Every structure is written in structure tokens, then in C-alpha cells.
Structure 1
Amino acid sequence: MGKLKLLLFLFALSFGTNGLAQQSDLKVEPPFWYAKMPTENLQLMIYGENIGQYKANVQHKGITMVKQVSGDSPNYKFVYLEISPDVLAGTFSLTLTNGADTKTISYELKPRVKELKRNQGFSSEDVIYLLMPDRFANGNPNNDTVEGMLEPARRDHPSGRHGGDLKGVLDHLDYIKNLGMTAVWLTPVFENDQTPEYKAYHGYAATDMYKIDRRFGSNEEFVAFVKACHDKGLKVIMDMIHNHIGDQHWWMKDLPFKDWVHDHEVYGNTNYRGTIASDPYASKYDNNKLVKGWFVTEMPDLDQRNQQLADYLIQNTLWWIEYSGIDGIRMDTYLYPYQDYMARWAKEVIAAYPHFNIVGESWVETVAHESYWQQDKPGENDGYESYLPSVTDFQIHFAVRDAFNQGFGWETGLMKIYYALSQDRLYSDPMKNVIFLDNHDISRIYSTLGENPKHLKMAYAFLLTTRGIPQVYYGTELAFKAGPSDWGDGAKRAEMPGGWAGDSRSVFTKEGRTAEENDMHQYVTKLTNWRKTSDAVKHGKLLHFVPENNVYVYFRYTDRERVMVIMNMNDSEVTISREKHLEMLRGFTFGMDVISGKNFDLAKDFKVAGKTTTVLTLK
């Protein structure tokens, strides 16, 4: 039996998603739970014909019925249980009676998995590799088109499903690890059984929140994938969405409550203005459009003010963390749901898993609007208390984009980066920010920077040496281009050549890459692996100097290590003054370039090449 098949077999035995035998005409979520969880509360959502008219009862030592709620639809019953920490793994019976009719559910509490490499969190020690499973590699062509699912594989369509899957990513974990990456972030892998017209290969329109999409693999395969990543020293970040679902979600045929989703006829689609959520002068009209409007017409907007829905979503999160062993979550559209709900969600997740980490997507225009969402934000007095550890730092992306495209000036060029970082006092902890050059929603950074390899190397070096948690979008190491359209899915979400059988070449091998791709790949690999060795970059303080003459100099330092970074945007070499930077250079006689290995004499003024970011370890 092959290694992957053996892994899947073992996990199927210990993590099967169906639990023990249940009443065949009832759907129960979560499908099973765990004994000795960090929370004693368990909500069971039971779905079946007229089940709301039944009364639930449980007779099991250590398990107490707290309450039961019937939905507006007669086909839902929500049962709330309290499970004592003393209750052992095993099964218990839940009976539902309606007159003379009785239904019995045999529900399983599984033992928690005891492994050191589970739920580890992520931090500034990590470099995150973001990829889209559908576009990375096709490891199992047999699941490209699944009978009974609405959208078949359409590899010739830029926005169609191309067949990439979990097995494809698994097959290339060594490629990711050898780059120097320490964590893998997959765009959502939940079932997205949407119509071909919507094109849901991206995963952000869930139709079942307890299932991995079969075109990516199975629940058991996902658990095996996480385990394989951990075995290679890679963490896994799961992408979740609590703002919306897909319009083909099974709920939409029979909503549990009338207020389960917002009324599209009343609110239409959202205004996509996340700044409204923290605007002290925002109108109720604008706020309603943001929070209650649907993201797109095919994505019904969830109303988390419904208590049963809020409990369901939080519990679903805890289930996936415990079931799969993931190390972190990236929460999509964090600013769009109700603030109080998102705060409760983050608080309960971190309380249950203290070593875990969460980053919320906060796509806004200013540092002030970004920092508002981070836990323990300073200086706020509007009464909102956030529990979100990390935010997606769009301000770094904007600053890099503008620095290379607006020309040199008092307020442009490298000053954009300086201004962004000089506002870090607004964050409770900027080292926890996830920083990036681009992602799956933005034009490829290589094209944004004019498709100049020197510019990409400069920007990448900045990303890996400034404060925060770097996230690298797949293909950056190969200088992927944006293509004819910045927003074209076939460009910013391109396939990795060699990920599909029959591809003419494979970028996963040196021989399959072009000379230009190998040059960038080598640069990224060397710098990313070096970062693992530098405590100053991973944990140290930042000190920077105001850019002059299109040159930006900053230092990362601890008591035991010092790194000097020089961004020279000029075409020609420039002289770096020792005297200007003496407060950080005093006591150091030379610096070694981490890329070339060249030694620089720091006892006097020295020169650095044009269009480079020079990274020196000081000796």
C-alpha cells in the first residue's frame, strides 16, 4: 500500500466523518464531536422532516440538556448540550419523540488527537505560501469532474475549474519547503457545488461547511494533508468565510429561520467599503449596505445576529481546528459581518486554542482603518473591543506598489513605505500583521512593478526583512505576470506549469524553468531560507532613516544580531554614509551581503549598486 493510501486508510478509521449509526432520515451537524474539548457546550443542528415538532431528550451521565430550539422551518431542531470534562470518548443516545413516534440518534464523542504538531499558530517566525488548490497542481485527475456536482472541469476556461486538488499540493510539498516557506495557506477547500455560470473554483461560496469539496479530495484527505505538512515542518492555514455562503448551499432550499440570511430584495449587494465599519460618522444606510448587502448575487449574506447561526458558525470553526489539526485561520471579508459577532468568534476560538492564530482580511485604505480591527488597539473609545490577533496589512502592499510607480518625491517613491511604517504606533502589535506584495485578489506584483526583475527582487527583500509575517503568493518565485487583464482569473490565478499531466514543462524542476525563472527562484530560495536563521528579522526591533535621494535604509536588530537593509531605487550606485547611520553602525567593521556573500567595509562610507535591496548581516 502506498504511503498516501496508507495515511488515508488510517485517518479514515480514526476520523471518519459519519460517526456511528444515526437515524437514517436525519442530518446531524456536527457529524461527531470530541470528549474533553476546551468548551463544554455543544449545539446539534438536526435536520429532517418535521423534526422541529419533536422533543429531544438525553439520558447520559455527564451530559445535560441545556435547551432546544425549533426553527421557523418545521424541519430543524437545535439541541444544546453541556458535556462534562469527565465524559469519556464513546457514544450516547439522543431520543426525539413526537407522540408515539420516536427517533434515536447514536452520537459519537471521539477522543482528541494528542500530537505536538497541531494547532501551532503562526507568527513573524513564519513565511506563508498562499496558493489556490485548483490552480496549483492536479494530483488526481479522477476527481476533476464528479458525477452529481454542478460544475465539471473546464481547463480551457480561464475562470473554470482546472482540476487542481489536495493531492497535487501534497505531491509538491518539498518544492514549497525547499523555497524556505514554513506555512501553507490554501484558499477555501469547502464544498462549493455552484453552477458553472458562477465559477466557484476559488472556494468562497460554500455549499456545505462540514465537507471538503470532492473535486479537491475528501475530509480524510484534508486531515492527511495537514499531517503530511506537519511532518515536513510546514504549518497549515485554513481559509474560512462567515460573511456569506453560496446560493446553492443546502440551507437555501429550506432556511432554518427567516432571518438566517439578509433579504437581498431589501439590501441588494454590498458597497464593498470596509472603512464604513469603523467610521464614527457612518450613516445607517451605508452601514446596512456593507453588513447586510450580499457580496455578489450568488452569495447570500449571513445574519449572525441569529443566535443559532452564530453558535453554528463558531462550533464549525472549533470542529475543523480539532478535527484537522490546522495551525491558523485566515477569515475572509472580516469587516463585512456584524462586529460583535466577529469579536465573539475570535475570542472563543483563541480561548479554546491559546496557541492558535487568526488573521482577518481587512481590505481598507488607511493604517487607521486597518489597525482598528486588531486586538487591544490603542486609543479607541467607541466601545468596540476586538479580539483579532492579526490583520492583513494592505497598507504595506499599497506602499510598495506606489513606491515603484509614483516616482521620487517628498511624498512619493520610497517615502510611501516610510510613511506607512511610521504609523505603526496605531497597531497594538505590528509584528503580528500579515504583510504581502500581492494575493489572489490583486494583480500579480511582478507586472505591477513594471515586469522588472530588479524591482521584484527589491520588493521581495523588503517583504522578508521588514516587520510582520510575510505572505508570498504562489508563482512570485517565478515572476508570474498579470497577463492581458489585471483582473483576469487566468493571469492572477494561473496554473503552475508541470502541475498537470501532459504539460510541456515543469516549473517544479530546475530543468523545466526558464533562465529568468531560475534566476528569480534562486533569489527567493536563498533569501527565504536565510530569514529562518535571523532572529533580528524574525523578532527584532526596527529602526529606519527617512529616505533621501531615493534611498531607504533601515535596521532590524536584537541585543545579539543586527541586519542593515538598503533600498536603492536609483539606476546607478550610491554612496552610503557611515556617519549618518553611526548610531546603528558603531562597533561594526563589516557587513556580509546575504545574497552574494560579499563583505562590505563599514569602517568608512561604502557603495551599493543601483536598483537593489542590499541586505547585510553586520559583524
Structure 2
Amino acid sequence: MKFEKSLLALALAGILTACGGGSSGGSEDPVDPPVEPPVEPPIGEVVEISVDLAKRPLDERLSCYKASGEEACNLRIYQVMVESFIDGDSNFDYNTGYGNSHHKGDIQGIINSLDYVQSLGMNAIWLTPVFQSNTSDARLNATGYFAGDYFSIDSNFGTKEQLQTLVDEAHARGLYVFLDGVFGHHSGNTEGSPEGRSLSTDGPAQGSGQEAVYPDDLDFYIEVATYWVKELKIDGWRLDQAYQVPVQYWDNIRTAVEDASATVTYTNADGEEVNPLGYMVGEIWRSANEIADQGYGPASSPALYSNFDFPTRYSMVQTFGVEESGNGDRPATNLDSGLLNLLAYPDHAQPNLMMGNHDLVRFGDLLERGDLASPSDDAYWARHKAAFAFMGAYSGPITLYYNEEIGAEVPGFADQVGNTVCADQGLCDDHVARSSARIEGVATLVGETPVELNAQEADLKDFVTDLMTVRAANPALYNGSRTHIYSDAYVYIDRKDAGDNNVLVVINTKDVEANITLAGTAIGSDGDLIELISGGTVAPAAGEYAVTLPAFGVAYYDIASPTAEGPQLGTGDDLTGEGPLADCSAPDAGEAGPLGVDMFIRGTYEGGNNFGATPDSHKFSYKGDSIYQVVISEEANTAFNFKFASSDWSSEFAVENSGAVTIGTEQTMAVAAGAGTESSIFLPESGDYVYSFRINGALDGGEMMVSLCE
């Protein structure tokens, strides 16, 4: 369910959406989202790029960056929303619900689709809640997110026996099965447990139900979480609104699930007796720092090991398309900025990246909302492929929402403006993606003809299948360290390493051809590069590799002959700049500056309250000559997103085109009003840094710099 809106890191005004239906209220964003100008391609629509040395050393801190072999890092999860998916049994229908689907989906429909899920190269499936609901709102019940009986299957979805069949059939195909656990709220009139426990009845109201009370309800939810592991041998849980459970109690629930998983076994696709995986992933739709605090817990006392990586998701859709605000088509450097948010997480973290889910707008609809492409355009399908390629090289579990693999969109949705009855039409942002599933070879409704894909849908599906197959065969992609080789407005390049598996990831994020010259020293290679998707080969010439990528082209190269030294870094950017914007000791002017308002660094740094705070420690002083400055002591190895903004958001600035900060370098500053227009910064070492900007005479831009103080 969705009951609040707030600021989200990377999106500034991204909606904090808990799961389920409904388009309920909440406070509006402080400013209207603007339309950000896209990156302009050069004349001739061809870019020439030369990479001499790697940009940044490898990152091997987080759990899935360590070539640990942990199966959770290799998860490729296919998410289905049960009521809007496939109608496999006409005895079980809701016939109503949020979204624009048939509302007839059931457990049998998922069983009918398991061969398809397996054929995609996925190895897990996540079902939205299937437990009995009993609120007075049938549409809400169809979402499953307000359970009334956690130990019974919703009679509109099927039977417990059918769910057992689903689990068994999935396991026989090598698919893990995850159920959706709502352990922070319920219908308010829930049934008791088999062991005689009951839920509290005095928790705060949440929509049509109420929040759970901890620690009073802890034992009840431990019983729920372990019951289905022991009873059906499920492999774990997706955890709705995980922030509703105080972080210290996730350790109790997680440990109980791990212990229960160790007590039962099933036969997998290889004929081996194995324990259920015991994987748990939290939904905390907030900034990286909040996810760290409310989901992962401290390194000394881990809570959850995995949470969805919403910050990187926003970075991804902002780059290859637009986010829900309509802002996007950002430079390739934005992908690196998104991944730098992972620095906020403790070492045990296994973030899970997705492109969309049942509460988000489908990527295809976002492309249309941003006027970037429609299904009749080649760029529509190419942008999908490029985004999937970025996901495919993500170290950690990934999740694919049903029908993203065929580029699904809702015709006409992007043209809906000011629609006040969107809930009745199934055209609200938070449930428009709950459209009727189209699964190749399977009838969407009982009695219908099995679905046939058109040529473009089939081509994208085949690409995703190839991508998942390559990912599964190369631990460097899902369990490897990351060295950032290069990124600019157009091209993104990483090297991934897991033991002797070394893969170079090259992605063109824009609608231009990119001719790239890579020095062997930059990527740590002195032999052939073998393309893992197409099978092509790039041989070195005079120590360099010539790679050409078409618009939105992608390549995964196996580095056949890695050098012992690995990627060679430059001497590093000079972190200390020059000129008045680098002056760390300029006296205050003793007068009000031309903006006429107090200005602050507002962002996702610790103490910044996810853009909400304006602490005095981050308040600019006016120095004269149109220059504003503040000196801040920063910690080492940190990254965050920010704007220079007033407390009332009447003035907002960032690097032009929302680019990333280059430390010690003067950069153009521009107005950055509204959602998704912030800049990112990565600080490689501790020290005092001066943040400066010079406002121009029109008060609509100027120059800015972040410089290390000597």
C-alpha cells in the first residue's frame, strides 16, 4: 500500500511507496519537477572516446564483491503480482483490484508459467502475498498486503495444495521460491496461529489495517516466517515495508528462518537433496543511509543481509530513460554515482537491483513519459537492452518484474495528465504496472489462445535470456569486484573480477555511435577481448583496443589475457583546485549576498535528512564578489547526492546537467529545480573541503567547485 510521499535519494522527490494498491495521499513535493534538458549529442552523432588509464581502483568491500560464491549473489528473481498475472483456474478469481488487469490471476497461472520463467534464464520466482485477506475493500484484498490469516491461502488465489505444487514444480526446474512477508502491518482482525499466538490489536492505524507492535508481535511473525519454510519448503521471503520492523528484530526473524531452513530438505533440479536457501530481502524505499540504518543494521550486529537497491534503480532509469517525475536522460556518469551509494552499506550487505516492480511505472511507460521513445521506435527496444545490460553486470541479486523482458507498456498511459480518477481506470503511477501478464505460449485467461510475441518482443526476450545465461556463467558479473574504468556523458565502462574470471563491461547510454579507444594498461589486458554475448573478438593493436558501439550498444568482454598488474590508475585528479573558489580561508564579506536568501548544501550526507535538513554546519557564507563558501570536514571514502539550495527551495543549483562533481575542478553550475536534478560527489579521502559557488548576474547559474584544503 502507499500511504506517504517523501524525498528519496537520487530522485529528491521520489515517492516512498509501501506495497499494495490504492493511491492515497501524503504531502506534495516542495517544488514541481522540471523537464531537464537531455545530453546533446555532438554534430554527426558520433563520439570519439579515448581511455588511457582507469578512473578508480577496484571495490571489493561488500559481500557480493568478494567472489565468495554465495548463492544469494547469483539470484535472478522473476517477480509476479498474483492477481494480475495469469488466470490458470477459473474457480479462483478476484474480478476486481487496483491496476488495469483482468484481476483473475491465481496460483495455477503461475504454475503454468514456470517453464517460461526457467527458459528466461531466471533461477527464482517471487510471489506477491498469497495469504487470506479479510478487509472490507475487495480491491485492497486483491493486493494481498493486508493479511487476515497468515496461515491460510487466499481462496481467490487457490489452495494450499496448489501452492505446494507450485513450490515443488519450481524446485524441479531449478527455481527458488520466495513468498512476500508483510510483518509490519496487517488487517487488524487477524486469525491466530497454529501454536496459539495472536497479533496485537492496538498498533497505529495504517489505511484499512494497523501496524504491528514490536516486540509484542515478534514471536507471531517468527512463527509465520518459519511455518512456510517447514511446511512447503519455500526458500525465503521478500519483506514488505521492512522499516516498520525495528531493525534489531530482523536479526531474530532472519536467524529463525535460517535455522528452519537447516531442518528441511528438498530435491533440486540436479537430483540433489538441498536445504531451502533462506534468503530474505527487505523493501525500504528510502535513501542509502536509511536503508543501511533500518535494514542492514550495524556490522557488529547484522539485521538483514539483503535489501532492494532503490538508489541505484533511480540512477539506472534516470540514465537510460526517465524517472517517474519525468526527469532523466542523464549522463553515463550517473550510473557510477548510483553505485557509489553502496558505500553507505556495511560489508555484509547484498543489495538487490530491480528496474521496476508493482508499485513503479514500467520502464516502457517511462520512456514514453520522457518523450524518448515509443514501441514503434528502435530506440525503445535498444534502451531496454542497455538498461538490462547494466543490471546484468550488477554484483548481487537482481529482480525482474514480469513482462519487462518483452518491453511491456500500457498504451496511452504516458499521455494521461491531471487524471483525477486514475484509480478507477487503473492508471495511477503506483499500480499501472499491474497489467495483465503476457507469457509466451501460455493463455492469459482460461480458454484464450496462448500468447504469441511480436518480433520486437521476442527479440528483447531472447536478449534477456542470453544476458541471464552469460551472467550465470560468469561469477565476475554477479559476484565480482568492480573497477570503474571510465564514464562520461555517453559511455560507461567497468571491469569486473572474480578470481580468474575477468569481464569488461562497456555500455553506450546514448543515441549516438561511440568509437572507443582503450589502452591495454587502462583495462589490464594484453590479449584478445572476447565478446560474451555475440562471440566477436577485439584484438589489440599497439597496446590499444578499438571498440565501436552503436547507439545504446552493449558489450561484455572476457579478458582473455589479463595482466598481472591489472588496470592501471592515473596519478589521480588533483583534489586541490586553484583560484578564489579554492580559497579555504576567505573572510566573510559582512553583507548579504545577491541571492538574498541563506544557502545550504542539502543532500543525502549523514545529518542531511535526505535533503530535508539545513544544518548550520552546511550553511554557506557570503565572501563577496558573488562567491559563497562553506568549509566542511568530510570522512574518507564516502559519497552522497546534493544541491546548493535555500531552506524554502526558492533557489536550487547543481552541476550543469546534474553531472557529478570533479574534485578540485571548476565546473559550470545551473539551476536544478525539482525532482531528480541533484549532483553526486565521491570523496576519496578525509580532510577539510571547501564548497564554493559564484553566482552570475542573472542569478540563474555560474561556477562551482569542491576543493580539498591544503
- Does TM, normalized by the shorter one, top 0.5? yes
Q: Kindly tell me: are residues 121 and 235 of structure 1, through their superposed partners in 2, closer, same or farther at Cα, counting changes over 3 Å? A: farther
**Structure 2 regions of 5+ residues with no counterpart?**
1-68, 263-276, 369-373, 375-379, 417-426, 561-710
Separation in structure 2 between the aligned mates of residue 217 and residue 121 of structure 1, nearest angstrom: 34
Checking the alignment, whether the CA contact within 8 Å between 1:128 and 1:182 is kept in structure 2 is: yes
1:123 maps to which of 72, 75, 79 = 72
1:143 to 92, 113, 118: 92
Match of 1:193 among 127, 130, 134: 134
- Contact 2:106–2:156 (Cα < 8 Å) also in 1: yes
Report the AA paired with residue 457 of structure 1: K
> Where in structure 2 are the equivalents of 1:248-287 lying within 5 Å?
249-250=190-191, 260-262=200-202
Following superposition, the deviation at residue 171 of structure 1 comes to: 1.2
Shift of 1:121: 9.3
Residue 491 (structure 2) aligns with: 551
What is the distance in 1 between the residues matched to 2:122 and 2:197? Answer: 43
Judging by fraction of residues, say which structure has more helix. Answer: 1
2-side partners of 1:256 and 1:351: how far apart? 20
- Residues 1:400 and 1:490: Cα distance change in structure 2 (over 3 Å): closer
1:73-152 correspondence runs (5 A): 123-144=72-93, 152=94
C-alpha distance in structure 1 between counterparts of 2:70 and 2:132, whole Å: 25
Which letter maps to 1:595? I
Which residue identity is paired with 2:536?
K
Aligned length: 442
What is the deviation of 1:532? 1.5
Cα displacement (A) at 1:419: 1.3
Pairing 1:182–2:123 present: yes
Q: Given residue 315 of structure 1, which amino acid in structure 2 is its aligned partner?
A: E
Of 521, 530, 552 in structure 1, the residue corresponding to residue 470 of structure 2 is: 530
Per the alignment, residue 206 of structure 2 pairs with: 295
User: Could you tell me which residue of structure 1 aligns to residue 526 of structure 2?
Assistant: 587
Partner Cα distance (2:91, 2:320) in 1: 45
Instruction: List per-residue Cα deviations over 1:94-129 (Å, max 9, x = no partner).
Output: xxxxxxxxxxxxxxxxxxxxxxxxxx9951212000
Q: Which residue of 2 aligns with 1:463?
A: 391
User: Is the partner of 2:234 in helix, strand or coil?
Assistant: coil
Partner in structure 2 of residue 237 of structure 1: 178
What is the CA–CA distance in structure 1 between the aligned matches of 2:138 and 2:171, rounded to whole Å? Answer: 37
Q: Equivalent residue for 1:228?
A: 169
Corresponding residue for 2:382? 454
| Aligned residues of 2:528 and 2:537 also touching (Cα < 8 A) | no
- CA shift for structure 1 position 196: 4.4
State whether residues 430 and 468 of structure 1, in contact with CA within 8 Å, keep that contact through their aligned partners in structure 2. Answer: no
Q: 1:336 aligns with which of 219, 227, 244?
A: 244
Task: Go from structure 1 to structure 2 and tell me whether the alpha carbon gap of 1:229 and 1:610 turns closer, same or farther (over 3 Å shift).
Answer: same
Deviation of 1:301 after TM superposition, in Å, equals 1.6
1:433-582 matches, within 5 Å, as 433-450=351-368, 451=374, 452-483=380-411, 484=413, 487=428, 491-497=432-438, 498-503=443-448, 506-507=450-451, 512-579=452-519, 582=521
Which letter maps to 2:206?
Answer: F
Tell me by how many angstroms 1:332 deviates.
Answer: 0.6
Q: Quick one: distance in 1 between partners of 2:523 and 2:460?
A: 31
Deviations 1:412-436 (A, max 9, x none): 5222211121243332347721111
| Cα gap change, 1:121 to 1:301, in 2 (>3 Å) | farther
Instruction: Work out the CA distance in 2 between the residues paired with 1:125 and 1:143.
Output: 34
Does the CA contact (< 8 Å) of 2:99 and 2:433 recur in 1?
Answer: no
The one-letter amino acid paired with 2:528 is T
Q: Secondary structure at the match of 2:242?
A: coil
Q: Offset at 1:598?
A: 2.5
Structure 1 stretches of 5 or more lacking a match? 1-119, 145-151, 264-291
Deviations 1:363-392 (A, max 9, x none): 10x2222222454645x9xxxx44211111
CA distance in 2 between partners of 1:472 and 1:391 (Å): 15
1:238 Cα deviation from its structure 2 partner? 1.0
Match of 1:390 in 2: 306
Deviation of the 1:305 alpha carbon: 3.1
Normalising by structure 1, report the TM-score.
0.66
Report percent identity of matched pairs: 23
Task: Give yes or no for contact 1:128–1:184 (8 Å, CA) kept in 2.
Answer: yes
Shift of 1:476: 0.4
State the partner residue of 2:232.
324
Alpha-carbon contact 1:161-1:201 (below 8 Å) kept: no
In structure 2, relative to structure 1, the CA distance for the partners of 1:340 and 1:356 (3 Å cut) is: same
| Cα distance per residue 1:543-598 (max 9 Å; x no partner) | 1134124211001122322111111123222222222x624342322322x33332
Contact in 1 for aligned 2:123/2:175 (Cα 8 Å): yes
State the SS of the aligned residue for 1:322. Answer: helix
Match 2:280 to one of 335, 349, 358: 358
Distance 1:239 1:256 in 2: 21
CA distance in 2, matches of 1:596, 1:200: 46
| SS of match in other structure, 1:491 | coil
- For 2:101 and 2:478, locate their aligned partners in 1 and report how far apart those are by CA, in whole Å: 39
- CA, structure 1 residues 340+569, in 2 after alignment: closer, same or farther (shift >3 Å)? closer
Q: Distance in 1 between matches of 2:329 and 2:437?
A: 38
Distance in structure 2 (CA, Å) of the matches to 1:411 and 1:159: 28
Aligned with 1:300: secondary structure?
strand
One-letter amino acid matched to 2:305: P
Letter in 2 for 1:600: V
Contact 1:563–1:616 at 8 Å: present in 2 too?
yes
Query: Residue 538 and residue 135 in structure 1: after superposition, are their counterparts in 2 closer, same or farther (change >3 A)?
Result: same
Question: Take 2:351 and 2:281, find their aligned partners in 1: how far apart are those partners?
Answer: 8
User: Contact conserved, 1:240 with 1:330, CA < 8 A, in 2?
Assistant: yes
8 Å Cα contact 2:332/2:489 also seen in 1: no
CA distance in 2, matches of 1:188, 1:506: 26
- Post-superposition Cα deviations, 1:390-424, rounded to whole Å, max 9, x if no partner, equal 111101111112223579x9995222211121243
Pair 590,431 (structure 1): closer, same or farther in 2 beyond 3 Å: farther
Q: In 2 relative to 1, CA 602–435 (structure 1 residues): closer, same or farther, beyond 3 Å?
A: farther
Contact 1:553 1:567 in 2 (8 A): yes
Q: Is the 8 A contact 1:206 1:249 kept in 2?
A: yes
Deviation at 1:478, TM superposition (A): 1.1
Equivalent-residue separation in structure 2 for 1:402 and 1:196 (angstroms):
35
Structure number with higher relative contact order (C-alpha < 8 Å, ≥ 6 residues apart): 2
Of the candidates 575, 586, 598, which is equivalent to residue 536 of structure 2? 598
Alpha-carbon distance, 1:351 to partner: 4.3
SS of match in other structure, 1:413: coil
User: 608-617 or 204-213, which moves further after superposition?
Assistant: 608-617
The answer to whether 1:304 aligns with 2:304 is no
Q: TM-score, normalised by structure 2?
A: 0.58
RMSD value over aligned CA atoms? 3.0
- Matching residue's letter, 1:528: M
Seen in structure 2, the aligned counterparts of structure 1 residues 430 and 302 have a Cα distance that, compared at 3 Å, is closer
2:140 alignment partner, SS class: coil
